[in-house]
Amino acid sequence: MRLIGHKKQIKYFEKLIKEDAFLNAYIFSGLEGVGKLEALKYILLKYVCEKKEGCGECTRCKRLKKLSIPDINFILPDRISENLNKMYEEGEWSFENLRTDKFSRELVIGIKTVRRIEEEIKFKPLELERKFYIFLDADLLNREAQNALLKILEEPPDFVSFFLITPFPDSLHLTITSRCIQIPFFSLNFEEFKKYFGKRKSLYFLYRFSGGSIGRAKKIIDENLIEEYGNFLKEIARNENEEYFPFKKFEKSEIKNKIFLFGFFLEELTKIKLDKKEIFRDHPYVAEIEFLSSRIDPYTLDFLYEKYYKILEGFKRNIPAYFLGYLFDSLRFGLP
């Protein structure tokens, strides 16, 4: 398995594997798509591998790839895990296809799931030295479930390790995060990013737009978000804010992209004000962004940031998209 970047994090776990010195709980945090789960897959392969290399060829490696080692458990939102058999049959549930941003943020990991884990961890691992429980979107744990998880983390058996993967570690109670080792994952640098995507048009722009996250960059390509960003800039530049900010109810999936695009827009304006010329490299919409920057003064930018952070906070706390839409609308008043 090939992994790009995150060398320090991997080195840390390679040492743990060698010494079998895993602790009870880890939080993997960092931008969506940056490689948290990919790194964990890489670590798990090394751990289970009969040669401790993650060769991908030995029986254990192959079984992990089929997700059929009973001591390694991936925890999904409740409604999804009920349909796991179907997903498994359709090939959607496989080691390669595991992703963290696959599930709508309206789903939850509830108390039943955590209670089930509580029962299971009373029993020793079946074939490995330890049992792993991996929460693919730990921020979906609801309040009750977090309280139950806290109880487990207060006195876990030695042979259990939890991995909580999330781009929003703040959504977890401090009482939980304080019992975990937090492993932060940072954006890739441009050289690493280039290794993955090779030559393509506006590559540097894609790098900045995705925040150096391969997963996010793939999504940007799949969902044509560069074009959507262009449309957004053009509409605002033409003073057609109503097009982009219709007074209507948003779907959660829709608002997620809008928040992302708007956040990037603010970042660009800030960089222009700071005279960071690198933003014009490869930029497909230079004229629009320069024009808009000249029309938005620092005070207005401040207003936009304040509103933006409120919306982002609401999104992290799973406030219904409906209400976020109202907040989002208020942004139009700060635009030219």
From the CB of 42, what's the least distance to Zn ion, in Å?
12
Task: Annotate each residue in 36-65 with x if it binds Zn ion (CB under 5 A) or - if it does not, as one string.
Answer: -------------x-----x--x--x----
Nearer to Zn ion, 53 or 313 (CB): 53
Residue 39 and residue 46 in contact, taking contact as beta carbons nearer than 8 Å: no
Nearer to Zn ion, 130 or 252 (CB): 130
From the CB of 61, what's the least distance to Zn ion, in Å?
3
From the CB of 125, what's the least distance to Zn ion, in Å?
18
Nearer to Zn ion, 60 or 283 (CB): 60
Cα→Cα distances 136→31, 32, 141, 266, Å:
14, 12, 10, 30
From the CB of 10, what's the least distance to Zn ion, in Å?
17
Which residue is associated with the tokens 């409120």? 310
Nearer to Zn ion, 55 or 319 (CB): 55
Nearer to Zn ion, 129 or 227 (CB): 129
Nearer to Zn ion, 58 or 312 (CB): 58
Nearer to Zn ion, 69 or 111 (CB): 69
Nearer to Zn ion, 61 or 136 (CB): 61
Closest CA to 282 of 207, 205, 174: 205
Residue 250 and residue 322 in contact, taking contact as beta carbons nearer than 8 Å: yes
From the CB of 230, what's the least distance to Zn ion, in Å?
46
Q: Which residues within the stretch 61-100 sit at the binding site for Zn ion (CB under 5 A)?
A: 61
Interface size with Zn ion, residues (CB under 5 A) = 4
From the CB of 1, what's the least distance to Zn ion, in Å?
10
The strand order across the sheet containing 181-184 reads: 72-75, 131-135, 160-166, 25-29, 181-184
Strands 72-75 and 131-135 turn out to be parallel
From the CB of 38, what's the least distance to Zn ion, in Å?
18
From the CB of 9, what's the least distance to Zn ion, in Å?
21
Nearer to Zn ion, 1 or 319 (CB): 1
From the CB of 55, what's the least distance to Zn ion, in Å?
4
- Residue 221 as a binder of Zn ion (CB under 5 A): the answer is no
Binding positions for Zn ion, rule: CB under 5 A:
49, 55, 58, 61
